[in-house]
């Protein structure tokens, strides 16, 4: 066969024969489904898509790509790949067929294959009274989330999910399967903790779980005409809120879609979502100052921790999204006025959601042994729209990036990788020394830059 095909086709044909999983080239039926990203705005056309079923398949793929002069990019879902380009010279490794999850209740650890989504970990962990540090979406990939940091509902108590990665199994850029632990591969483990997908293909992670019986959580909702009053009070409340609470404030312009429940459908709102652990001050007392703002709807209640998985009501399944994001040092009166002028009542903003995630607590304490040692800011701002056509897309991007630019005086240009879906200098994610070390680890493990992460380390 190899004599009748050009070299790339021959290498891909050999790879197809060598792996247990599936391989799709543009000529194959199934290629369009295999290449589709969760974010429907992304239109990627890789040289081939491989759906491995084992670390061995991944190693074969990396070696075959090298032999064919192709690069390799890895995606669990395609939630955050708007920056990777069209991939014509790249093999896309889609890990979705590797979704095994094993819970070790004695060690309080989950062994998670590369393609597992958060809901595939949260449900079996809950059966043992354990929680994982998942984020707001059940169908985000565990590995991609942890590689980028990972802030969820327990973040101010336990910090970034990346800091609770215990070990990993990876395939290196030269096609070796390597177990990564603090003892055997300290540099690689350090780089995987928040450094993104720059140093190896992760085939499995071991992540720490936490015992938890109950949590107090829910939404407080007001008409968005109350945005200034509510956000101003929330910002002040954040100043000395205990670490047992993690909250998110949102400006929402909900479309009139049937999937949205009746009291909220088609409405403009200001919302505070929160989760309070029962291991600190009385949750009722923690929430009282926010309840004193007289929300129109109050869903906050004691619930089993599994309720946190869908608390934020993120869209599930493929969705088009355009966004921009930045970290802020605070939200003083002037900043709040700027934010509301750009995206609040009367602004005519096309953004579906402007979200402010409360940082601080454990997120702010530097953890040695991680490329992303802490999140050095008070809030992460995330501005998002769902484009239905290119004109709308242009308006959404202008509004999201315009808002980020207007908020620049209240940040230091630092960004959080997981919420960054536009191309930026990776120096905006990391402290200077960490960025330098990350590049050095990448150069040591991938000197040819075979691996293509969504946010290349530079």
**Rounded CA gap, 432 and 430, in Å?**
6
DSSP state of 117: B
What string marks each residue from 270 to 309 as x (binds ligand FAD by CB under 6 A) or -?
A: ----------------------------------------
User: In the complex, what is the shortest distance from the CB of residue 197 to ligand FAD, in angstroms, rounded to a whole number?
Assistant: 3
Q: Which of residues 95-124 bind ligand FAD (CB under 6 A)?
A: 95, 114
User: In the complex, what is the shortest distance from the CB of residue 121 to ligand FAD, in angstroms, rounded to a whole number?
Assistant: 13
Asked if residue 141 binds ligand FAD (CB under 6 A), the reply is yes
Choice between 202 and 336, CB closer to ligand FAD = 202
User: In the complex, what is the shortest distance from the CB of residue 77 to ligand FAD, in angstroms, rounded to a whole number?
Assistant: 4
Taking CB under 6 A as the criterion, the residue among 165, 370, 454, 457 binding ligand FAD is 454
Q: How many residues belong to the chain?
A: 458
Q: Cα 160 to the chain's mean position, in Å?
A: 11
Asked if residue 8 binds ligand FAD (CB under 6 A), the reply is no
* Residues 294 and 390 sit within 8 Å (Cβ to Cβ): no
Asked if residue 149 binds ligand FAD (CB under 6 A), the reply is yes
Residue with tokens 């869903």: 299
**Rounded CA gap, 77 and 434, in Å?**
27
Asked if residue 79 binds ligand FAD (CB under 6 A), the reply is yes
Residue with tokens 């990396």: 62
Asked if residue 77 binds ligand FAD (CB under 6 A), the reply is yes
Choice between 310 and 406, CB closer to ligand FAD = 310
Phi-psi region of 34 (alpha: psi -120 to 50; beta: other; left: phi over 0): alpha
Token code pair at residue 112? 């998670």
Of 134, 182, 124, which Cα lies nearest the Cα of 161?
134
Count residues contacting ligand FAD (CB under 6 A)? 33
Token code pair at residue 158? 């336990």
Choice between 212 and 336, CB closer to ligand FAD = 212
DSSP state of 317: S
Asked if residue 151 binds ligand FAD (CB under 6 A), the reply is yes
Instruction: Give DSSP secondary structure letters for 198-254.
Output: SS-EEEEEEEE-EE-S-EEEEEEEEEGGGHHHHHHHHHHHHHT--TTEEEEEEEEE-
Taking CB under 6 A as the criterion, the residue among 44, 61, 80, 244 binding ligand FAD is 80
Choice between 122 and 336, CB closer to ligand FAD = 122
Q: What 3-state DSSP class applies to 314? A: coil
Choice between 64 and 143, CB closer to ligand FAD = 143
User: In the complex, what is the shortest distance from the CB of residue 421 to ligand FAD, in angstroms, rounded to a whole number?
Assistant: 7
User: In the complex, what is the shortest distance from the CB of residue 337 to ligand FAD, in angstroms, rounded to a whole number?
Assistant: 27
Q: Which of residues 161-200 bind ligand FAD (CB under 6 A)?
A: 196-197
Phi-psi region of 125 (alpha: psi -120 to 50; beta: other; left: phi over 0): alpha
Asked if residue 137 binds ligand FAD (CB under 6 A), the reply is yes
Asked if residue 420 binds ligand FAD (CB under 6 A), the reply is no
Give the pairing of strands 48-51 and 22-24. antiparallel
Taking CB under 6 A as the criterion, the residue among 135, 159, 360, 387 binding ligand FAD is 135
Name the helix (H) or strand (E) containing 23.
strand 22-24
Q: What are phi and psi of 79, to 5 degrees?
A: -75, -30
Asked if residue 156 binds ligand FAD (CB under 6 A), the reply is no
Choice between 298 and 314, CB closer to ligand FAD = 314
Asked if residue 358 binds ligand FAD (CB under 6 A), the reply is no
The stretches of 89-147 forming alpha helices (DSSP H) are: 118-126, 142-147
Choice between 152 and 387, CB closer to ligand FAD = 152
* Residues 178 and 78 sit within 8 Å (Cβ to Cβ): no
By beta carbon distance, the residue nearest ligand FAD is 144
Asked if residue 140 binds ligand FAD (CB under 6 A), the reply is yes
Of 46, 289, 63, which Cα lies nearest the Cα of 171?
63
Asked if residue 248 binds ligand FAD (CB under 6 A), the reply is no
Q: Which stretch binds ligand FAD (CB under 6 A): 68-76, 220-228, 391-399, 430-438?
A: 68-76
Q: Cα 148 to the chain's mean position, in Å?
A: 6
Q: Which of residues 204-233 bind ligand FAD (CB under 6 A)?
A: none
* Site of interaction with ligand FAD (CB under 6 A): 74-81, 84, 95, 114, 135-137, 140-141, 143-145, 147-152, 196-197, 201-202, 314, 418, 453-454
């Amino acid at each position: 066969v190899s004599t009748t095909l050009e070299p790339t086709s021959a290498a891909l044909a050999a790879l197809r024969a060598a792996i247990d999983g599936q391989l799709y080239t543009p000529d194959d039926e199934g290629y369009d489904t295999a290449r589709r990203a969760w974010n429907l705005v992304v239109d990627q056309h890789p040289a081939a898509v491989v759906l491995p079923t084992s670390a061995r398949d991944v190693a074969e793929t990396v070696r075959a790509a090298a032999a064919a002069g192709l690069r390799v990019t890895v995606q669990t879902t395609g939630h955050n790949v708007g920056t990777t380009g069209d991939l014509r010279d790249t093999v896309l490794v889609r890990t979705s067929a590797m979704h095994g999850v094993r819970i070790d209740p004695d060690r309080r650890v989950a062994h998670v294959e590369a393609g597992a989504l958060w809901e595939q970990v949260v449900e079996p962990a809950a059966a043992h009274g354990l929680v994982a540090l998942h984020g707001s979406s059940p169908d985000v990939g565990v590995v991609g989330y942890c590689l980028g940091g990972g802030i969820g509902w327990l973040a101010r108590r336990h910090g970034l999910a990346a800091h609770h990665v215990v070990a990993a199994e990876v395939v290196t850029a030269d096609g070796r399967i390597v177990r990564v632990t603090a003892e055997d591969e300290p540099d690689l483990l350090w780089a995987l903790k928040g450094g993104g997908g720059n140093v190896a293909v992760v085939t499995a992670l071991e992540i720490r779980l936490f015992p938890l019986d109950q949590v107090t959580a829910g939404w407080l909702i007001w008409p968005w005409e109350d945005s200034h009053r509510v956000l101003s009070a929330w910002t002040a409340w954040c100043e000395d809120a205990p670490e047992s609470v993690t909250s998110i404030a949102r400006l929402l312009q909900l479309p009139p879609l049937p999937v949205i429940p009746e009291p909220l459908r088609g409405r403009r709102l200001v919302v505070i979502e929160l989760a309070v652990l029962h291991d600190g001050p009385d949750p009722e007392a923690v929430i009282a100052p926010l309840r004193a703002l007289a929300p129109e709807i109050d869903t906050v209640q004691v619930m089993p921790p599994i309720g946190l998985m869908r608390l934020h009501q993120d869209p599930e399944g493929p969705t088009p999204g355009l966004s921009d994001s930045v970290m802020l040092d605070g939200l003083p009166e002037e900043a709040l006025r700027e934010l509301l002028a750009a995206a609040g009542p009367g602004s005519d903003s096309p953004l579906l959601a402007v979200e402010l995630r409360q940082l601080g607590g454990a997120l702010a304490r530097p953890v040695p042994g991680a490329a992303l040692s802490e999140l050095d800011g008070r809030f992460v701002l995330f501005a998002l729209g769902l484009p239905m056509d290119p004109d709308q897309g242009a308006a959404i991007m202008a509004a999201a990036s315009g808002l980020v630019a207007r908020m620049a005086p209240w940040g230091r240009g630092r960004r959080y990788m997981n919420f960054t879906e536009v191309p930026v200098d990776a120096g905006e994610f990391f402290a200077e020394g960490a960025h330098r070390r990350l590049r050095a680890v990448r150069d040591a493990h991938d000197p040819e830059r075979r691996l293509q992460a969504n946010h290349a380390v530079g």
